[in-house]
Structure 1
Amino acid sequence: MSQQQDTAHKDARTNDHVGRASVGKGLFTLITAVVVVGSFIALNYALAIADMWVGFLFALYWGGLERSNFKKLPNCIVGAAVGLTAAYFLHALPLAFGAAALAPCIAGVIVLVFFQIMGWFVVAINMTTMLFLTVATIPSIQASSQYPQLMISMALGALYFSIVVWIANQISRRLANTTRLTSSTH
């Protein structure tokens, strides 16, 4: 492993690459996160969506791993939908058709994994697909969740968190422009 790779690996483990925020900025960020998350929970309750974890999982992947990159948002949405759909079929088909459905289900997963390995059809088959497929096939989730509710929760999470990030980006740009204008006049 090169020194650059080793440093990147260490940074990924320890968050050393993240600048240290002041206590004030840290508290502001914490309060903002509490408001955003609390609002999302309240919205889920208001809409009677019990499986809000799906929206949070989407936010974790798109926000954390994809860094809220709007160019990657469509792939994340489609990938999550494909992963949830594949997980649904892995559960529903054997229930409906018995053991005869296992072979086509396993073949479908093998095709998804092969497409992922090859980098084919990345708008629909990507790491988001694999994450949602993996989580949504957990037996306790399959036993207690309904597919339409999972899709609604994912769509709500994608919509809500993308709007929140868009608004935060707009505010950040305006503050940066104001700061730049103020500092250039002095």
Structure 2
Amino acid sequence: MSNGPEDAHARLSVPMTAVVLVGVFVFMGLFFALHTLLGVGMPVFGILFLIYWAAILKQDPAAFVPSVLGPLAGIALAWVLIVMPAQTGTAGMVVSRVILVVVLFCFTRGQAKLLVNNATMLFVTVAAVPEFDVGRNYGGMAGSVVLSAAYMGLVALGLREIGKRRANRKIVADVA
């Protein structure tokens, strides 16, 4: 199993890797500054979104919306499974388990992929960790995902636009 570029020719040079790392440090510095400035808690959920969409899915534009909605559904599901039964007793326990069965059914069959996908399962697992206290921190968890998606989405769009312009300039230069 590979942890990096599959092809040795695709590897960045050492100086270019250093440039990329500087960019990552700046990006993450701005990420944390935005969370602080806007008062959005639980940045770990935003980081998890960044890792999922930017690194694992390689910023696939087609996967962006499911990568945002899935985590929100996963956080909501964690709340339903943990908080609802505590607040509403047996009825809440029954309803939460029925919702869980429906979600797992959809996930297993590959249905409702916009909401029920790998990101949903990842985020329900993490949001349900007792130390994160989904009951008190649901808003911070969801807010961090939304802020991170907006930030990363804008950065990805900007980088794509820069890439297109560079490619167009190269085509024009090659023709001339």
TM-score (norm 1): 0.85
Kindly indicate whether residue 174 of structure 2 is the aligned counterpart of residue 179 of structure 1.
Answer: no
CA shift in 2, pair 1:55/1:124, >3 Å: same
**What are the ranges of 5 or more consecutive residues in structure 1 without an aligned counterpart?**
1-9
- One of 42, 60, 79 as aligned partner of 2:51: 60
Count residues in correspondence.
174
Render the CA deviation track for 1:33-89: whole Å, top value 9, x for unaligned: 111111010010111122111111111111122211111111111111111111111
Contact 1:115/1:121, CA 8 A, preserved across alignment: yes
- SS of 1:72's equivalent in the other structure is helix
- State whether structure 2 residue 151 is matched by structure 1 residue 160: yes
Percent identity of paired positions between Structure 1 and Structure 2: 25
Q: 1:75–1:15: structure 2 CA closer, same or farther, 3 Å change rule? A: same
With 96-105 and 126-135 compared, the bigger mean Cα shift is at: 96-105
Partner deviation per Cα, 1:109-139 (whole Å, 9 max, x = no partner): 2221121110111111111111111110011
Question: Cα distance, 1:91 vs. partner?
Answer: 1.9
Which structure 2 residue ranges, 5 or more long, are not aligned?
none
SS at match of 1:120: coil
Maintained 8 Å contact 1:83/1:130: yes
**CA root-mean-square deviation:** 1.8
Distance across 2 between alignment mates of 1:33 and 1:145: 31
CA contact (8 A) 1:91 1:142 kept: no
Q: Partner of 1:17 in structure 2?
A: 6
Aligned to 2:108: 117
Letter in 2 for 1:54: F
Residue 98 of structure 1 is matched in structure 2 by 89
Cα deviations by residue, 1:132-178 (Å, 9 ceiling, x for unpaired): 11110011112684212221111101100011111111112222222
Greater Cα offset, 103-112 or 34-43: 103-112
